[in-house]
Amino acid sequence: MKYALVTGGSRGIGRAVCLKLARMGYHVLINYVSHAEEAEATLRMVHEAGREGEILKFDVSNRQQTTEALEAWMEAHPDAYIEVLVNNAGIRRDNLLVFMPEEDWHRVLDITLSGFYNVTQPLLQPMLVHKFGRIINMASVTGLKGMPGQANYAAAKGGIIAATKSLAQEVARKNVTVNAVAPGFIQTDMLEGLDEAALKKTIPANRFGTPEEVAELVGFLVSKEAGYITGNVISINGGLYT
């Protein structure tokens, strides 16, 4: 049995990634923090794809919660390890910096950056021991070029890109690859409230992307065939200038 963990697997891009990995033969661990019914829906879809899965509830920004959940899973599966990790959980709390509450600065950084540390650090050792692992970090076009109103999100996504490049160099010899995916505008709950018609005009492809398109890219990066790609950021943005 091959295991994959997707943080924020209950909705949007994370759900599509769970389904892609299930179709690739993985037993999928679906993490979420608050939308239990959405996580259940993802699990049902994994079952419909003919695979097993399970739900792991924890807040990736909470070190203790995350460690307890992962340690409990590892104790229950002493002969298994999680060979694929997709650090996908994320939020946005947009505001011009001049108006940005301290809480919104910290929450976005905590979930993306501390979340990356909290989840990746305990899962790394087993990947190194087994000499195979795939880590995909969900970044953003904003982490590459910045966006007004998103200084917190840009700092978090830029940080995750830098962490990706560093970690990739630490573990490449052990056949563990670490890459970031940088989506542009993808049709999910995260874009709620944005002016789609106006934004589409800024995208050469003249449309938002789909979660499934991002999941296909993640699927390739996870595959054995992508073993020589590491420390990279792959954009998927319909030609949006970066």
Catalytic residues: 153
- Binds ligand NAP (CB under 6 A): choice among 18, 88, 150, 177: 88
- Binds ligand NAP (CB under 6 A): choice among 3, 4, 5, 10: 10
Q: Which of 12, 25, 89, 83 is nearest to 56 (CA)?
A: 89
Segment contacting ligand NAP by CB under 6 A, of 44-52, 78-86, 162-170, 181-189: 181-189
Closest to ligand NAP by CB, 130 or 220: 220
200-209: long-range pairs with CB below 8 Å, 24+: 202/240, 203/237, 203/238, 203/239, 203/240, 204/238, 204/239, 204/240, 205/238, 205/239, 206/238, 207/238, 208/238, 209/183, 209/184, 209/185, 209/236, 209/237, 209/238
| Secondary structure string (H, E, C) spanning 89-110 | CCCCCCECHHHCCHHHHHHHHH
Work out whether 183 is an interface residue with ligand NAP (CB under 6 A): yes
Closest to ligand NAP by CB, 154 or 168: 154
Closest to ligand NAP by CB, 173 or 201: 201
Q: What SS3 state is found at 25?
A: coil
Segment contacting ligand NAP by CB under 6 A, of 93-101, 128-136, 179-187, 216-224: 179-187
Query: Looking at the DSSP assignment, which residues form a beta bridge with residue 138?
Result: 181
Q: How far apart are CA 214 and CA 217, in angstroms?
A: 5
Closest to ligand NAP by CB, 26 or 185: 185
Q: How far apart are CA 132 and CA 141, in angstroms?
A: 28
Work out whether 238 is an interface residue with ligand NAP (CB under 6 A): no
- Binds ligand NAP (CB under 6 A): choice among 5, 27, 61, 134: 61
Residues in CB range of 79: below 8 A, 6 or more apart: none
Q: How far apart are CA 167 and CA 158, in angstroms?
A: 14
Q: How far apart are CA 186 and CA 146, in angstroms?
A: 17
Work out whether 90 is an interface residue with ligand NAP (CB under 6 A): yes
- Binds ligand NAP (CB under 6 A): choice among 118, 120, 150, 188: 188
Closest to ligand NAP by CB, 227 or 242: 242
- Binds ligand NAP (CB under 6 A): choice among 7, 150, 230, 235: 7
- Binds ligand NAP (CB under 6 A): choice among 19, 29, 59, 179: 59
Q: Contact residues for ligand NAP (CB under 6 A)?
A: 7-8, 10-14, 31-35, 38, 59-61, 88-91, 111, 138, 140, 183, 185-186, 188-191
